Amino acid sequence: MPANKTLTYIYSDSTAVLGPLAMYAEPHSYDLCAAHSEKLTVPNGWTVVKSAPDMQVGGPSDDDLMAIADAVREVGQHQHELAPEPSPSPEIGRRGHLRGLPSS
């Protein structure tokens, strides 16, 4: 069965958090299938926090998307400003997208 939940242990708080499948691996985290996540038990004295995803949220908001677009645009402009100017090289001839350069 494919994993659909991530179990994370927080040893300092004696807490186990069962939430949506994590996007990347972290220490003390384990991916579980539905059958194992339903049968989860923890040691005596530990607390289980089950975090369910908010089904009303369908993805990033328009503000989130605009912030991402602005950030990408800003990085692109900054990289363009930092790009070194190509040094002109003498051409022997040009044919379409090919050009001949003198040998050094």
Residue 38 located in a structural domain: yes
Please give the model's pTM, rounded to 2 decimal places.
Answer: 0.50
Residue 84 located in a structural domain: no
CA 36, CA 5: separation in Å to the nearest integer?
9
Provide the domain count of the chain: 1
Residue 42 located in a structural domain: yes
Residue 22 located in a structural domain: yes
Residue 35 located in a structural domain: yes
Owning domain of residue 44: 5-50
Q: What is the pLDDT of residues 66-95, one digit of tens each?
A: 888 777 777 776 655 555 666 665 656 666
Q: What is the pLDDT of residues 22-39, one digit of tens each?
A: 888 888 889 999 999 999
CA 33, CA 88: separation in Å to the nearest integer?
60
Q: What are phi and psi of 68, to 5 degrees?
A: -65, -45
CA 81, CA 79: separation in Å to the nearest integer?
5
